[in-house]
Chains A and B, each alone.
Chain A
Amino acid sequence: MILHVNHVQPDRTALTTSVVSTLLTVAGEGQVSRRTLDNLNVHLDWVQYKTNFREAVSVRRATKGEELLPWIEVGVDLRQVRQETLKEEFVHALNDVGADATGSRKRIYLEPFAPMRCSLIWTFNKLFWQHRPLWEKATGRGFEKALPTGQSDANHPLAIADSVADVWTLLKDLENQKQLPPEIFVLEIGVGTGQRAALWLNRFRDLDRERGTQYYPRIRFLLADYSVTTLDAAQQTVQDHRELASFLAVDALDPFKSLSFLRYKVLYIHLTNVYDNLPTDELVTRDGRLYFVEVRSYVSFGEAARISETFSVPPAEFTRTVNRLLEAGPQHLSLSDVQQSVGFWRAVWDAIRLEERFVAIEGVSEAPLPPGIRPSQLENFIANAATNQRFHVSSGALESFINTVPLLHPRGYLQVQDIFVTDLADYPRMFRGPGKMDGSIVNWVNGALLAEVGEQAGYDVHFAPFHYREGSRTSILYTTHRE
């Protein structure tokens, strides 16, 4: 048995020490077979998100085709684990992973194993953004209140002022070179409440008036989001600038699909906390082999029974009711009223966990890469990964990035505020998701990989800390055209 202590903080060393001690005791007591112990890796993590997709003790098996490989990994979430039950959970977990990998009888599986980005947890994520007002009514708070600081960094006035100043400077430079286009296209993808767009336009109008440059009337501010509900709300917020603003339903994964008429025309593109909410996959390097992570979502029998009883759903109808929720939305569940339906939705979301397995592949070309990404773009990156490392492919973010940059004017730039892992070596230092944020999903974004792919597409990608708020984990990604 090899123990990996991935995360230790000074005030939690006692807990970590105690967990390690328990695990060593179990190993020494003979309750786990020698063969299992020989192939066992145990990872101790502190899962950052209060609600997430992991059990306190989770087992992950490795497969190659139909064959179950000897390597067994156990993840222990130091945040959830209870000392008094750890030993029992650990032994049970290991005894539950025999040659029969079809699944545990204690779980209701909602889907078969699939690459992470295909899991139905992303359908739940989409459901949240489509029906957010219902969720917010039930919780009594807006989604931004779920953020660690209770508000979005997108709307920070100093960050917005700097952004406006940068764009204004670019426009002035273009004007000096007689290259200022007649229409100045600005694009925001993922508009939230529309507050950032409104603040940005207010500030830009003020600066333009102050300097007498007449750029403001030429601005064409495009607010793009995949949720029409969100766009409708944003429209109200930006109404002072209605002459300049357009609201577009856009696939966050492929903005180019809807906006190809703006190819090479957009001078400034901004996204805040969009990439962290897009589907992702994960890759694992282990002892010279490459694996991709497959998941299947489940609800434990106990939780399913409790939810069924609370919402008067016959236990046999539990899975069908979940599917109905995802297909038709909470308004169309046959529960007593919408409030009950949202309650069911929230309870199921809270109970959902992911079972993971590692699928061995011969090379990157066998990995489920997002459309538009060539294996050769990842090969160098993976070659530089440590021997034993698990990291995000950030499939959705990569796809979105690759399908956004062709919109940029030759002098334009893309700015993304998000939680980025800017160095691959930072992955083992803390858990990077996926976690649950209200009804949505949050994931750190593999910025190092984004930079590698960006480089090969002709963009240098830089990261700067979001220095406007002390302690912020946000970074700002900034592209420049690569020479």
Chain B
Amino acid sequence: MNLPILPTTVVGSYSMPGWLERLKTEYFARRISRHELDEIHDAAVKASIKDQEVAGVDIITDGELRRDNMIDYFAERLPGVQTDHGSKKFYYDFYDSVVRGKIPMASLRLVDDFRFLAANTDRATKFCVTGPHSLVKRIRDEFYKNEEAFATDIARVINLELKELVRAGARFFQIDEPYYSGFPEDLQWGVRVLNTLVDGVDAKITLHVCYGNRYGKPSWAGNYRYLFPAILEANVHQLSLEFARRGGEDLELFKEFPNKFELGAGVIDVKGHEVETPEMVAERIRKALQFVPAERLHILPDCGCLHLPREVAFNKLKVMVQGARLVRREVGG
């Protein structure tokens, strides 16, 4: 699919409507059925797709509205992981999940999600999965006693799933690893596991690393210096990093550590409700262009829009697209 220069995309999640939160909680309270919830999810995902299209986003996702959070959707599907379904009262809480034996190879059943997305849009699509490093931080390990070994087995399962998704037509994946920022000391093995995950996957892959967006607030502080040079060994095509909220100082790292990666530059702050102007967005893109050439730059928000009110999320995506268009004209796109 032909994309413009400086293509715009999202970081997975779209605004979670209040009514959907309530209905998810209704499901936990056994007041609506699984079938009804699935139908509700279908409707919500269609609305999310439409919003992204109307906002003018070039590469869209399903908004991840079927997912309670970035962990449980995968923990529940990982073979060998037991989740205590009575362990949370609010949909966004984490289940108490535990692994007590070696994780076998089996499908995560994500292909239907991708097919639904692809069937409901003509735009280019991206499919997002939570990375093994983040998953091992939230799933209690009573078997491996070694995070890298545990994460490697998860990576093998996800690798199988990505290949299934490629067969179903997926061409662009995003691996979410925000927990790198909380545990920078894990990065060496984190990258090894990441390379297991993407091994032989015939698609474009971006690695998203932020400072957390749990409850719409950062989980960690610091800067991206910890990523370098270890991240240079990652077999991914693109790094998706947040620069809007934190400022663009870390862009210097792309100069200090010459690399092959595309950059997915976060130019929209998803932790504040104030909508940027197209000019602000354009300025942030211009700053990124000082360190990465236009043909290697993608434009996106800092992280998912999950916690933003729908109107704010929609308007933020619109100005992101408008800002990108302003700069495209300047670079001849």
Contacts and interface: CB of A to CB of B under 8 A. Distances in A.
B18 interface: yes
A34 interface: no
Nearest to B181: A410
Given A380-B89, A456-B90, A411 B22 contact: no
B212 interface: yes
A376 interface: yes
* Chain B interface residue number, banded: 20 to 34
A481 B221 contact: no
B214 A264 contact: no
A181 B221 contact: yes
A241 interface: no
A411 B216 CA distance: 15
A445 B210 CA distance: 37
Given A179-B222, A376-B22, A483 B217 contact: no
Interface string A202-230: 00000000000000000000000000000
B95 interface: no
A406 interface: yes
A232 B21 CA distance: 47
B221 A264 contact: yes
B94 interface: yes
A483 B179 CA distance: 12
A263 B245 CA distance: 10
A326 to B, nearest CB: 35
Contacts, number: 41
A457 B222 contact: no
Interface in A321-374: 374
A409 interface: yes
Interface string B197-235: 000000000000001101111111110000000000000
A380 B22 CA distance: 11
Given A376-B18, A376-B22, A483-B94, A410 B215 contact: no
A263 B90 CA distance: 26
A98 interface: no
Contact of B212 (A380, A410, A456): A410
A455 B215 CA distance: 10
Given A457-B215, A458-B214, A411 B18 contact: no
A264 B214 CA distance: 13
Contacts of B214: 458, 482-483
A409 B216 contact: no
Nearest to A411: B221
B217 A410 contact: yes
A148 to B, nearest CB: 37
A409 B219 contact: no
29 contacts: A178-B222, A179-B220, A179-B221, A179-B222, A181-B221, A264-B217, A264-B221, A264-B271, A374-B18, A376-B18, A376-B21, A380-B89, A406-B217, A410-B217, A410-B218, A410-B220, A410-B221, A411-B221, A455-B90, A457-B215, A458-B214, A458-B215, A458-B216, A481-B217, A481-B219, A482-B214, A483-B94, A483-B138, A483-B214
Cβ-closest 7 pairs across A and B: A458-B215, A410-B218, A410-B221, A179-B222, A410-B220, A410-B219, A179-B221
